[in-house]
Structure 1
C-alpha cells in the first residue's frame, strides 16, 4: 500500500503506545477513504451522524469493520444508534443510559458504552460531573442490555497542554477507580497528552484523513 492516507496512518500507528488504539474518525469523509484504510489494516471507525454513517456502512458491508458512535447522543436517535453501532462513546447522563439500556433490550442488542465525563467547566459539552458519576455508578453498572466499558472526556477549547494532561490523567484515575479498562480521550490536537495519560482510544480525524472534502466546489 502507498499514498498520503496510508503514509499518515502508518506514521501515527508507529507513534502510538502499545496501550492505545487508533479510532479513525471518518465523519465527513467518503466510504472510499474508509475502504483504503481498511485495506491497510484499520478496523475501528468513528462516526457522529447516523444519517451519514448508514450509507457508508451499507457500501462497506463486505468488510469486517467495527463502528463507534462518537457524536452527541440525542434521546430521539438512541434506537437508530443502538441498531447501527456496537460501541457508543457519548452517554452523558443517567436518564440517557437508562434509555439506551431499555432500547437495546428491545432491539436485542448489547452495546459497549463509554460514559462521557466533564472534569472542567465547559458550557459547550455535556457529561457526568465526577461526584454525579460516583453517586450514579451502582445504578449505571447494573443496567441490563449494555456493558459500561469505560469513560470518555474532551478538553475544553483553549485548554493549555499542561491542564489537558492533568485532565486526561484525572479521567484515567477515575476509570481505574471504577475498574473500567477503557478511556476514550485525545483527538487530533491533543492525542499525545491523552496517550501519555493512559488513553486506550484516540479519536483521530483531521490528522489522519486530512481536511474534510467540501460539500460543493468553490465558486469561480
Structure 2
C-alpha cells in the first residue's frame, strides 16, 4: 500500500480543512515559517503532520511543536537539536533520514540530505536519541550527478538502502520518495509514501 502525504505548497488552512473532509490525514509542510501557524490553525483536525523541508537547527523548536514526523534529517547536529526539543516538549518525533544521491565532497546534497555512505551512521544516531523514532528513509530525485534524470533508478537505489537499514532497524520501514512529477516512478520502485502537492492542490503562485 502507498500512503499519500499531501504537501501543502503553501496554502491556507481552509484548504487543509477541505482535505480533511476528503479523508486526507497526512499533511506536509516545507517552510517552517508556514508550518507552525498552520499546525495551530488546524489543531482540532485528526491530522498527522510531516515536515519535509530543509531544517535549520535554530528553527527546530517551532517544528517540533507541531510535526509528528520530520522527513529531512540529514546531519548529527539536527538529530541533537530534535532530540533536545522533543524531550522538552514531552513528545516522540518520527524521523526519516534524507538521502542525497547528488552528494558532493562534503557529503551533503544540493537540496539537503546525506550521502548513501553516511546513512547507517546517521540512522543509528537517530535510533539512539531520546525523544526520536527512526521511521525510515526519504529522498528527492536529484538534479545532478549519476541519477539526474533517472528518477526510478534513484528510487530503486533508495529501496536497496532501506533493505540494508531494516536489517539493523526492522521498524524503520517507511520509504518516502516521489512528488507530483515523479510519483509513478516512486510507486513502481516500491515507495511506501509519496509527497504530492500540485497534483492535488494545483500549482501555487511563486512566493516573493
- Is the TM-score greater than 0.5? yes
How far apart are 1:60 and its partner, in Å? 2.3
How far apart are 1:136 and its partner, in Å? 4.1
Runs of 4+ in 1 over 6 A off after TM superposition: none
Cα deviation digits, residues 127-148 of structure 1 (max 9, x gap): 1112222244433321121001
Distance 1:60 1:83 in 2: 13
Residue among 5, 30, 37 paired with 1:55: 37
Distance 2:153 2:206 in 1: 36
The residue number in structure 2 matching 1:140 is 126
Q: 1:130 to 1:95 in 2, by over 3 A?
A: same
Q: 1:213 to 1:34 in 2, by over 3 A?
A: farther
> RMSD value over aligned CA atoms?
1.9
- What's the TM-score, normalizing by structure 1? 0.82
Q: Is the radius of gyration larger for structure 1 or structure 2?
A: 1
2:50 aligned counterpart, secondary structure? strand
Distance 1:209 1:103 in 2: 32
The worse-fitting range, judged by mean Cα deviation, of 125-134 and 106-115 is: 125-134
Instruction: Tell me if 1:65 matches 2:47.
Output: yes
Question: How many corresponding residue pairs?
Answer: 196
How far apart are 1:215 and its partner, in Å? 6.7
Q: Please list every run of 5 or more consecutive structure 1 residues that lacks an aligned counterpart in the other structure.
A: 1-18
How far apart are 1:103 and its partner, in Å? 2.0
Instruction: Tell me if 1:174 matches 2:173.
Output: no
How far apart are 1:83 and its partner, in Å? 1.2
Distance 1:63 1:139 in 2: 32
The residue number in structure 2 matching 1:12 is none
